[in-house]
C-alpha cells in the first residue's frame, strides 16, 4: 500500500510541476512582449503578475502623457509610477521620466479603453 501511495504521489508531482512552469513561462512571454513593444501604451488594461504588494494605482485616468526611459508613453504620472513599481518588482529594472520627444514614436493606443474618447 505504501508503495502504491508513493508512486501515486510521484506521478502527481511529476505531472503538476511542468504545468505550473509552462503557465509561468506563458505569463512571462506576454509581459515581455508588452514591455518590448515600443508602440504600446502601458495602461491598466494589461494584467501582470504582481511581485510587490506596494504597487498602488490611485485610479487617476486624466490624460497628461509622460515618457519613460523604456520608450513607453504612459497616460499620466500615476500610471507611470504604478507601472514603474511593477517593472521594478518583476524585472528589477528602474525607469525614469524623460523628455516626451524620446517617446515620439510611441502611440497612445489605449485611450479608448481608458474611457477618454
Q: Do 77 and 113 fall within a single domain?
A: yes
pTM reported for the whole predicted model: 0.50
Please state, in angstroms and rounded to a whole number, the distance separating the CA atoms of residues 49 and 107: 24
Lowest-confidence range among 28-32, 47-51, 92-96, 104-108?
47-51
Residues 113 and 71 in one domain: yes
pLDDT in tens, 4-42: 666 666 666 656 555 555 566 666 556 555 555 555 555
Residue range(s) defining the domain that contains residue 31? 1-36
Mean pLDDT of the chain: 71
> Structural domain tally of the chain?
2
Q: Which residues pair with 98 in a beta bridge?
A: 67
Q: Is residue 26 part of a domain?
A: yes
User: Same structural domain for residues 71 and 116?
Assistant: yes
Residues 116 and 72 in one domain: yes
Contact 74, 106 (CB under 8 A): no
Q: Indicate if 26 and 70 belong to the same structural domain.
A: no
Task: Say if 100 falls within a structural domain.
Answer: yes
Q: Is residue 80 part of a domain?
A: yes
Amino acid at each position: 500500500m505504501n508503495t502504491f501511495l508513493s508512486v501515486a504521489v510521484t506521478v502527481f508531482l511529476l505531472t503538476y510541476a511542468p504545468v505550473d512552469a509552462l503557465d509561468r513561462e506563458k505569463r512571462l512571454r506576454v509581459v515581455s512582449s508588452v514591455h518590448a513593444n515600443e508602440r504600446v501604451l502601458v495602461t491598466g488594461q494589461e494584467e501582470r503578475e504582481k511581485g510587490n504588494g506596494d504597487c498602488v494605482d490611485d485610479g487617476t485616468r486624466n490624460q497628461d502623457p509622460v515618457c519613460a526611459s523604456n520608450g513607453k508613453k504612459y497616460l499620466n504620472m500615476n500610471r507611470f509610477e504604478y507601472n514603474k513599481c511593477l517593472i521594478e518588482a518583476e524585472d528589477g529594472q528602474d525607469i525614469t521620466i524623460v523628455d516626451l520627444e524620446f517617446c515620439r514614436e510611441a502611440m497612445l493606443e489605449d485611450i479608448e479603453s481608458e474611457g477618454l474618447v
